[in-house]
Amino acid sequence: MTDETPAERRNFYGRIHGKTLRASQKGYLAEDLGRWRLADVSRDENPARALLDPAALFGGRPVWLEVGFGGGEHMVHMAATHPGIGLIGCEPFVNGVAMLLGKIRAAGVDNLAVHPGDVRDLFEVLPEASVARAFLNYPDPWPKRKHHRRRFVTRDHLCPLARILQKGAEFRVATDIPDYVRQTLEEVPQAGFELVGQGATPWDDWISTRYEQKALREGRKPHYLTFRRL
């Protein structure tokens, strides 16, 4: 998809392991990840990059995608609020994956699947126009100007996203960084989307995420943007 080396790819999200996992989290990973993990996404498992059939995974239900689900609160909330869809989430940070698995157990939802890795691997194996909605909640801000090209809202990520989204699909972005709003408004339309709405009021089915709570505590203001795939 891009000419990046694996080392450059790692740079995109920095570290994969953070705090030591609690015993309960290790248990979730050992016992539950196998059930929820989307197979044949990684290059090791699927070197030919054969395309998946995501709708079949969820019995023909519309498929939604969450990029970088963090601790998984939005993902589990969406799966519970919209039982008629199937939600694929990806997150390379293993602590976040363990947190998501704990929340899945507690909520008892089953209409989701997890790629514990980089969204770009997922883009490669999802068919064109196979996803009906995508969420990008508080993407890594990359505050230094020289790192802005690493942000998700750049061509290298937005064009593959546009390819897998259906015409008319909604793409939601939440961020607390004014310069991220600027770049989102500049780059997302260039990748084949139109802006439908933006402002300080979240979507009706929104749940505040861990990162948003931190931003609010630190005095930053959330901004919500909605695009439609043309």
> Which residues are identified as catalytic?
140
> Given the rule CB under 6 A, which of 55-63, 66-74, 78-86, 217-225 is the region that contacts ligand SAM?
66-74
Q: Which amino acid is at 152?
A: F
140 scored as a contact of ligand SAM (CB under 6 A): yes
Does residue number 38 form part of the binding site for ligand SAM (CB under 6 A)?
A: no
Of 90 and 134, CB closest to ligand SAM: 90
According to CB under 6 A, which one of 86, 92, 102, 116 is a site residue for ligand SAM?
92
11 or 56: CB nearest ligand SAM: 11
DSSP string, 79-102: HHH-TTSEEEEE---HHHHHHHHH
Q: What burial class does residue 119 get, using C-beta atoms within 10 Å of its C-beta: 0-12 exposed, 13-18 middle, 19+ buried?
A: buried
Our CB check for ligand SAM shows the closer of 56 and 143 to be: 143
Closest CA to 78 of 206, 229, 221, 212: 206
Q: Give the span between the Cα atoms of 65 and 208, in whole angstroms.
A: 18
- Contact call for residue 88 and ligand SAM (CB under 6 A): no
Q: How many CB atoms lie under 10 A from the CB of residue 135?
A: 21
Q: Report residue 52 as tokens.
A: 């998946």
222 binds ligand SAM (CB under 6 A): no
Does residue 209 belong to the site contacting ligand SAM (CB under 6 A)?
yes
Q: Which of the stretches 80-88, 99-107, 114-122, 216-224 binds ligand SAM when contact is defined by CB under 6 A?
A: 114-122
